[in-house]
Chains A and B, each alone.
Chain A
């Protein structure tokens, strides 16, 4: 079944390739069977004129005619919703943005007794922690609060002539995460069997849940109180103080902040490091990067100069389109007009490449013996190829 499908596809594609260029959109590659020996027998499609034409056409088409609904304009600078957003992006820093139009900002500045519009940050209890003057181009602010495990809110407003702070917008109250282990070591255990859905568990204890109590909290409490469950409930095992110390020591708690910083980001670091290695070895040069990176190996400035050189061999020719041609003993496929063209790597050494053509009626042969000598001599650091600029790996490992 699978193989018949494949055959079908192959057939179809062959037809397409032979036809006119525009129809070969689906695939530029000529279809081929999974021949185990494609050496020198593949269709040299880099010389397939149809394919080249297609490339150009495609390029032109997209350049002159963007797809429909491709350019939808720009997002507005502000919407004027007077919304204020505050979030703690880590234990020490918060980020705030506000959505005021230029006009709204000017109105506020005009109403202000001193012309100033202010961003104020408060602790949850309402103590003012910071006051920052904002300007009409400013739409967000990073705030160094440095109070892990605390709650905050922020306001934007101005002082009126009575000395009262008029609020234009106010954020929600938000929490900064902890930056160390909780001092509270008296947790409870709870048994939640996988064979019961959360819904089923809720149904079991619905009438015994307190207001605002969440599912696992209610289960833990009821399990402590000895409520009868249709599954075995276990108490859990606490560690002794010594065991706890042991474990914390093993985790290297003081070290943790440094160590948690490894993430997918680590890869980016690794890439940069590698890049620096290559920079310092002069393998590749890009003005953009070179200026921003210095050699990690110290000992003087790395010069930017570099050189790379390599050699390849192109053998090309032509004969009767129906003739058989062998290069180095292997039969090759000719283009429709009887010409052929092949690339070879040319390492240092001496090479003889015989080429032989046999006429279609197989009564006549012509041959050529090509001889090549490459012997390279380098002065200074000369590489075979240049190190390319470095696109990142895909996905999250970027």
Chain B
């Protein structure tokens, strides 16, 4: 098992969802994002890690669990609603088992989902008492997993540079929340959208955050030119280290032409019982207004261009995941061998992905990771898996260089979050940030109701800043929801601001805001001072 590696691979999964929680409605469609991600991504990842540990496989994984996601995972209302969601799906699966009796293949698939969902319930309710944070924390404490933080609400930091206090609050509130969740300070951060602009490192230094990830060109275009390209991190002027995203391994998973997730044997995301089945039959399981929705029971495989979709075969898909894992590992071996030979140093290949890609979108993704960890541990002696913090422990000397402004969004800079559909939000967000700073300074010694109202104003501002809203406006689905969330938080913020400045706090309104958005209960709004 022990060998001197020629290089390292750091797999980083960014687990994030915007804070979506609607106690004011009995059911809320957008909360499904969270429930689906638990069923299809978070629980499968925990299960993979559990099995690896049981089989004593040495593995290393890095995950960001964003503060907004952690807040949802810890939220009793959402926890209970997830259980309700699961129970309902299980009920549907039992009906499906009945309905499919005359078709052996479908029947088998109905059982397949029933079993998966039963497993989810066992993990969520029995194993972790509805709190998955404890699961992730455990793997971190045992050294398999490094959990990193993110901006408090995934705010797009380069568009806040005129309000340094707003950047500072996004980072320090996140750090504080991380400590509450995981019992120690974070060593790394996933900058929201990997968006970096020179100067951000100063805030990370204050938070004692040692590293972050930027897209490839963030390192390649850094100044001075880094000697090892993206295969060694660079130290920013303030001290935190930037790792560059590897281009090759990203492409293997993401690429539309050659990416693994598009394989014909994998499960087809778009064929869902919620849309496919007869309306009256499926009605109790779709939206209460009668609109169909995805319910996560999907019976088809990708199959191929055009034509009828074939039924899904889990065993064949599993085998494909194993062979793709072998291919991924082989390519990393060749890549690392080459880099080691040509540069004479041990390169680090950093492969960051959205966590929800694995499982939710690419259903077999967690299985792919499972095989990748196992094969890497047993079938090769070229590279080792590592977390960025471990790497820095072993390699404390790195080139000093300022990363170039960059993000991992389309075209590499700010365009996704600043274009025709979403640029209207920034005058409002900036004004609110300015007001927040003004208010925090004026009332920095306040207490009681004023302090409570300022804390809630800070929450509303942070929620309005989530880059998710701008992203959704740009991509064009669920746009009205993103617009409403942006406006609602800004309007709540503005109302609280006026009440606080006018010394006329409406307790009823404040309580309503707190009831709707109770994240970061111990928020330190004085970071805005």
Name A's B-contacting residues (CB within 8 A).
Answer: 2-3, 6, 25-32, 34, 38-40, 42-46, 51-52, 55, 58-59, 62, 67-70, 72-75, 78-79, 81, 83, 85, 87-91, 93, 95, 97, 99, 139-140, 172, 175, 177-195, 197-199, 201, 214-217, 219-220, 231, 233-239, 243-244, 246-248, 250-251, 253, 256-257, 259-270, 273-274, 277-278, 280-281, 283, 310, 312-313, 328, 342-347, 349, 351, 383-398
Quick check: is B293 within 8 A (CB to CB) of the other chain? yes
Cβ–Cβ contact B411 & A261, under 8 A = yes
CA distance A51 to B201 in the complex (A): 55
The listed residue (A184, A219, A386, A398) touching B224 by CB distance below 8 A is A184
Cβ–Cβ contact B84 & A27, under 8 A = yes
The listed residue (B215, B405, B471) touching A398 by CB distance below 8 A is B471
Interface string of B26-40 (1 = CB under 8 A from A): 110000110011000
Size of the B side of the interface (Cβ < 8 Å), in residues, is 149
Given A237-B344, A251-B220, the answer on whether A393 and B254 have CB atoms closer than 8 Å is no
Minimum CB distance partner of B278 in chain A: A312
CA distance A235 to B227 in the complex (A): 13
Minimum CB distance partner of B506 in chain A: A69
Chain A residues with Cβ under 8 A from B250's Cβ? 262
Cβ–Cβ contact B276 & A89, under 8 A = no
CB A3 to nearest CB in B, in angstroms, measures 7
Cβ–Cβ contact A3 & B126, under 8 A = yes
Cβ–Cβ contact B88 & A29, under 8 A = yes
Can you list 27 A-B pairs with a CB-CB distance of less than 8 A?
A31-B87, A45-B91, A51-B284, A68-B24, A91-B413, A97-B426, A190-B235, A190-B397, A190-B400, A192-B396, A216-B400, A243-B343, A251-B247, A256-B220, A261-B411, A262-B254, A266-B259, A278-B306, A281-B305, A312-B281, A342-B98, A351-B102, A385-B271, A388-B274, A394-B17, A394-B32, A396-B354
Cβ–Cβ contact A215 & B412, under 8 A = no
Chain A residues with Cβ under 8 A from B488's Cβ? 72
Chain B residues with Cβ under 8 A from A51's Cβ? 284
Quick check: is B423 within 8 A (CB to CB) of the other chain? yes
Minimum CB distance partner of B241 in chain A: A192
Chain B residues with Cβ under 8 A from A384's Cβ? 308
Quick check: is B100 within 8 A (CB to CB) of the other chain? yes
Chain B residues with Cβ under 8 A from A179's Cβ? 221
Cβ–Cβ contact A236 & B239, under 8 A = no
Max chain A C-beta neighbours (<10 A), residue from B357, B397, B399: B397
Minimum CB distance partner of A187 in chain B: B224
Cβ–Cβ contact A262 & B404, under 8 A = no
Max chain A C-beta neighbours (<10 A), residue from B16, B396, B488: B396
Cβ–Cβ contact A191 & B396, under 8 A = yes
Minimum CB distance partner of A248 in chain B: B229
Minimum CB distance partner of A266 in chain B: B254
Would you list which residues of chain B between 343 and 395 have a CB under 8 Å from chain A? 343-345, 354, 356-357, 360-361, 389, 392-393
User: A69-B512, A85-B427, A247-B229 known; 16 other A-B pairs, CB under 8 Å?
Assistant: A28-B284, A29-B84, A39-B98, A46-B284, A59-B288, A69-B513, A87-B159, A188-B400, A192-B239, A214-B237, A215-B237, A219-B239, A256-B217, A266-B255, A395-B17, A397-B357
Quick check: is B527 within 8 A (CB to CB) of the other chain? no
Chain B residues with Cβ under 8 A from A181's Cβ? 220-221, 225
The listed residue (A29, A139, A346, A393) touching B102 by CB distance below 8 A is A346
Name B's A-contacting residues (CB within 8 A).
Answer: 14, 16-17, 24-27, 32-33, 36-37, 80, 84, 87-88, 90-91, 94-95, 97-103, 106, 114, 118, 121-122, 125-126, 129, 158-159, 162, 187, 198, 201-202, 205, 208, 210, 215-217, 220-231, 235-239, 241, 247, 250-251, 254-256, 259, 261-262, 269-272, 274-276, 278, 281, 283-284, 288-289, 292-294, 305-308, 338-339, 342-345, 354, 356-357, 360-361, 389, 392-393, 396-401, 404-406, 408-416, 418, 423, 426-428, 430-431, 468, 471-472, 475, 477-478, 487-488, 490-492, 494-495, 509, 512-513
